[in-house]
Amino acid sequence: MLVLWPTPGGEVDPAVAYAHDSRPEPAGRPWVMINMIGSVDGGATDPAGRSGGLGGPADKQVFVAIRAVPDVIVAGAATVASEDYGPPRLSPALRAARRERGQAELPRLAVVTASLRIDPDRRLFREADPGSRPLILTTAGADAGRRRALEAVADVIAVGDGRVDWRRALGALRSAVGARVVLCEGGPSTNAQLVVEDLVDELCLTLAPALVGGAAPRIVRGAAAGHLVPLGLERVLTADGYLFLRYVRPTD
C-alpha cells in the first residue's frame, strides 16, 4: 500500500501505520474514532443498502487494520443487522500485537439501541466468546422483556433515559472495560449523534472508486445537519484505486 501524504512514494503496512498513530486520551472519556466508506459521489452504501458492497481487498485490509486498534467497537443496531455483524476476528499476528500493547486480544463489540429491538439469536451473540460477550448500550426506559432476553447473551448497560447519552456511554465503556480508544462503525445516524455531541476525535474514511447515485445516505445523516466540525488531514494511503484518508481533530 502506497503513501500519498504526508510523504509520498513510500510503502506501508496499514496495520503498523494505524497501530502507531498518536491518540491522546481526552479528559474524562476514551478517544473516539469513526471508520466509514463512501463512494466518490458521497454515498455511504451500495444500491442494496450495504456499505460492504463498496469495498474490495484493499479496503478489507485497512478495515481489519483499523479494527485492531480500539478497545471497543461500537455500531448502531441497524448497521449490525444490515451488515450481519459477527464477533470481531483478528489474525494471530494482530492479536499478539495487541497483547504487546497491553490490550485484550480482541476488542469488545458494543451495540447501540435505545429500543432493544435486536434479535438475541443474531450470530454476533451466538458466536461470541463467553469471556467477551457483546455490550448493549441502551436506555433506562427500554422494554423490560427485551432487556431480559438480551441479558442472557450480552452485558446490557443503560446510559440515558429517552435516548442513549453518548457522554455517559463513553464513560461507561471507560469504567466497565477500561476502554481508552473506541471505534464507531456507524451507521450514519449513530455518527450524527457523535458529531452533535462534539465527540469525534478521528475519522478514517475510505473513498471507493465508484459512483452510486440514487438516494444513498451520506456517512453522517440526521441530527448533525449544519454542525461544522473542522478536521486536519493526517495521512492518505492508496491501493487498488481506493483512497484511505485519516483525519483528526485539530489540537488548537
pLDDT at 228: 80
Q: Order of strands, edge to edge, in the sheet holding 202-208?
A: 2-5, 232-239, 242-248, 202-208, 31-39, 181-184, 72-76, 108-112, 135-138, 155-158
Total domains in the chain come to: 1
Strands 232-239 and 2-5: antiparallel
- Assess if residue 207 is contained within a domain: yes
What is the CATH classification number for the domain harbouring 139? 3.40.430.10
Domain residues for 136?
29-39+54-248
- Assess if residue 47 is contained within a domain: no
- Confidence band, pLDDT 50/70/90 cuts, at residue 97: very high
pLDDT at 40: 97
Distance CA 37, CA 56 (A): 11
pLDDT at 130: 86
- Assess if residue 219 is contained within a domain: yes
pLDDT at 162: 87
Say if residues 32 and 200 touch (Cβ distance below 8 Å).
Answer: yes
Give the residue-averaged pLDDT of 214-222: 89
Q: Per the omega criterion (within 30 degrees of 0), is the bond before 6 cis?
A: yes
- Assess if residue 9 is contained within a domain: no
Runs of H (alpha helix) within the chain:
14-19, 57-67, 77-82, 92-100, 123-126, 144-151, 166-177, 188-196
pLDDT at 223: 66
Q: What is the value of pTM for the model shown?
A: 0.95
pLDDT in tens, 115-165: 999 999 999 999 998 888 999 999 999 999 999 999 999 999 999 998 999
- Assess if residue 8 is contained within a domain: no
- Assess if residue 10 is contained within a domain: no
List 244's β-bridge partners, or say none.
Answer: 206, 237
